[in-house]
Amino acid sequence: MSENGDMGHHDEHDHDHEQSFISKYIFSTDHKIIAKQFLITGIFWAIIGGALSVIFRLQLGFPDMDLEWLRPLLGKWITTSGKLDSEFYLALVTMHGTIMVFFVLTAGLSGTFSNFLIPLQIGARDMASGFMNMLSYWFFFLSSVIMFISLFLETGPAAGGWTVYPPLSALPQAIQGSAAGMTLWLVAMVFFIASTLLGGINYITTVINLRTEGMSFSRLPLTIWAFFITAVIGLLSFPVLFAAALLLVFDRSFGTSFYLSQIYIGGEALPNMGGSPILYQHLFWFLGHPEVYIVILPALGITSEIIATNSRKPIFGYRAMIGSMLAIAFLSFIVWAHHMFVTGMNPFLGSIFMFLTLIIAVPSAVKAFNYITTLWKGNIVFTPGMLFSIGLVSFFISGGLTGLFLGNSAVDINLHDTYFVVAHFHLVMGSASFFGLLAGVYHWFPKMFGRMMDEKLGYIHFWSTFVGVYLVFFPLHYIGIAGFPRRYYSFTSFDAFSTFADLNSFVSIAAILTFGAQFIFLFNFFYSIYRGRRAPANPWKSNTLEWTTPVNPGHGNWPGEIPKVYRWPYDYSKPGAEDDFIPQTVPYSATPESNTDYENELAKPEEVTPKVKAEDEA
């Protein structure tokens, strides 16, 4: 590596060299192109996942509706009476959850922005391994193809909930959705896990080894801290899901009994003995709960950057924000059994997991408090990205509060597997993370494509989505308290639930309209790529390094030397400074003398490399 941290490549990158379309845009090793590949694939899956939810919301909200008009799309899964097949309904719910959690909010969010921002914000030419980075996308793409094919199988896609609990998932003969669809689900997830691990290793290595001169850990943007911590969580937890899936494959295909014992099908006893389906739950949720933070932490990192930039204020509690993310990462590994309070676990053990679950609310509250304090008395610029970031904070708080109920083992016994749980995680994890993804797209679109998205369409998109999400998920809390079980095909046969029929119809209408509002974003996104207003070099007047590159950076990011870093990334509205932002590349000597005290607190002398210090003093 050369002195300025460019791996000795910059001469090569100063001159364009001919690349074929395939090598530049298909099998690219450029982190920016790979990020766009993740984003476009994630958008495709978001449309599929959203469409599936619209179909099953039609069934829930209007159980007497004739769905014959869907037969050209769904074929035999529409019954002769024009209703949705009950087994296919479970498959829709399963595939919706799988797609949104893994393919959209894990790969689409973390894959896009970790790839795009890590080299640009730490001052690196590219990822540590461009080839490994390319492989991570193509494993994800292969996983996507396999999962997509499963939607068209004769027996239908996997049906067992997105958690695919055995014994339903371990017995191919149990229901149609336990057959080939479940096999393809497991194969697709193996490739997905490989993709995630390859990406995580790359992200961690890049952040540790390829930071530019002066970029100490205490000067990293909070986005990079979030991506780095997320990669560590994924690296430690996804192999456990791989082990769970592998044992499930053994039970399905090789006659083992890891999860099966005393099973009867059609009155006939199976030979499996000694297994435990609870073992699968332990393995799954050891990934499942860290997965919540694998999904939300990148969104929180993006929100930290956007809120500080558009509040024109330093982020409040920079070190507390890092500490809270580290605490969340640690605690996320020791709370998994709060998903299992109703499995018959020892009440004493349940009380321990309840205590740890409630403790994790503390670092989460620190983040929410710091966001609000950063916004307080800020000179706020309401860009679409800023609105989606504020929307994320709103969902994170309102959805997080309902988590306090579910974290209490005594209350959870009544609320477990009801629509209260659905409402909780769709707000605090699903919608909040999705808003983080949208905020990131609006904010970094100029750097991705060199053009600006239309702000008015962005405002319409935000308000229709923000209001729509609350109209969908807020009423579900009340339905859940009333006892509505999740994943049930129909409630019309239960007199106790008939009073909520109108509310269910209302939720379905709101869900359809909210899904429709996303096409405003799709039009804005694809139209702006080609016809949007050309972006200036630094449209948001931001401090981080990515805005020091050309508007359309080539492979290598900076045409000359990589810039050096002298300060933290949140110097906004410093008293006495000429502008209301001071980029990280501006030395302290260029700052008014009276304002260096605060700087020196944030960048202690030992954090400044001798070379940078000598040049600064000169």
Residue pLDDT, tens place only, 222-245: 999 999 999 999 999 999 999 999
3-state secondary structure of 256: coil
Classify each residue of 410-445 as buried b or exposed e, where b means 16 or more C-beta atoms within 10 Å of its C-beta: eebeebbbbbbbbbbbbbbbbbbbbbbbbbbbbbbb
Q: What is the mean pLDDT of residues 411-435?
A: 95
**Residue 614 falls inside a structural domain:** no
Please indicate whether residue 509 or residue 597 has the higher confidence score (pLDDT).
509
pLDDT score of 19? 72
Two structure tokens written together for 268: 């006939």
pLDDT score of 17? 53
**Residue 578 falls inside a structural domain:** no
216 C-beta neighbours (distance < 10 Å), count: 15
| Maximum average pLDDT range among 317-331, 544-558, 563-577 | 317-331
Q: How many residues does the chain have?
A: 618
Q: What is the mean pLDDT of residues 275-284?
A: 94
Mean pLDDT value across the chain:
90
Q: What is the mean pLDDT of residues 246-266?
A: 92
DSSP-derived letter for residue 575 is T
Residue 268 in this model has a pLDDT that exceeds 80: yes
**Residue 615 falls inside a structural domain:** no
Tens-digit pLDDT profile for residues 186-217: 999 999 999 999 999 999 999 999 999 999 99
Q: What is the mean pLDDT of residues 500-507?
A: 91
pLDDT score of 591? 64
**566 Cα distance to chain centroid:** 31
Two structure tokens written together for 264: 């009867």
Tens-digit pLDDT profile for residues 364-402: 999 999 999 999 999 999 999 999 999 999 999 999 999
String of DSSP letters for 141-199: HHHHHHHHHHTT-TT-S--STTTT-TTTTT-TTSSGGGSHHHHHHHHHHHHHHHHHHHH
Q: How far is 53 from 30, CA to CA, in rounded Å?
A: 35
Domain of residue 148 covers 3-10+29-260+274-531
Tens-digit pLDDT profile for residues 583-600: 999 998 766 644 444 444
**Residue 610 falls inside a structural domain:** no
Residues whose CB falls within 8 Å of the CB of residue 401, separated by 6 or more in sequence, listed in order: none
Residue 77 in this model has a pLDDT that exceeds 60: yes
- Kindly report the CATH number assigned to the domain that includes residue 526: 1.20.210.10
Query: How far from 295 is each of 230, 234, 381, 437, CA to CA, in Å?
Result: 8, 10, 27, 10
Two structure tokens written together for 359: 């403790």
Nearest 5°: phi and psi at 414? -80, -35
Strand-pair partners of 84: 78
What is the band of 497 on the pLDDT scale with cuts at 50, 70, 90? confident
**Residue 598 falls inside a structural domain:** no
Tens-digit pLDDT profile for residues 111-161: 999 999 999 999 999 999 999 999 999 999 999 999 999 999 999 999 989
Strand-pair partners of 572: 581
Strand-pair partners of 451: 534
What is the band of 64 on the pLDDT scale with cuts at 50, 70, 90? confident
% of the chain residues with pLDDT over 70: 92
Q: How far is 559 from 562, CA to CA, in rounded Å?
A: 8
Residue 21 in this model has a pLDDT that exceeds 90: no
Residue 1 in this model has a pLDDT that exceeds 60: no
Q: How far is 536 from 546, CA to CA, in rounded Å?
A: 13
**Residue 541 falls inside a structural domain:** no
pLDDT score of 14? 41
pLDDT score of 267? 83
**Is 363 in contact with 325 (CB distance < 8 Å)?**
yes
pLDDT score of 533? 94
Residue 15 in this model has a pLDDT that exceeds 50: no
Rg of the chain in Å (alpha carbons):
25
Strand-pair partners of 418: 485
Q: What is the mean pLDDT of residues 424-449?
A: 96
pLDDT score of 578? 85
% of the chain residues with pLDDT over 90: 79
Q: What is the mean pLDDT of residues 478-483?
A: 91
Two structure tokens written together for 487: 């994943």
Two structure tokens written together for 380: 């706020």
> Of 311, 292, 186, nearest to 249 (Cα)?
186
**Residue 388 falls inside a structural domain:** yes
Q: What is the mean pLDDT of residues 346-359?
A: 92
**Residue 590 falls inside a structural domain:** no
Per the structure, how many domains does the chain have? 1
Residue matched to tokens 């009994």: 257
Whether the pTM exceeds 0.95: the reply is no
> Of 475, 501, 484, 488, nearest to 418 (Cα)?
484
Q: Which helix (H) or strand (E) holds 268?
A: strand 268-269
Please classify residue 268 by burial: count the beta carbons closer than 10 Å to its beta carbon, then call 0-12 exposed, 13-18 middle and 19+ buried. exposed
> Of 42, 217, 234, 204, nearest to 132 (Cα)?
204
Q: How far is 429 from 431, CA to CA, in rounded Å?
A: 6
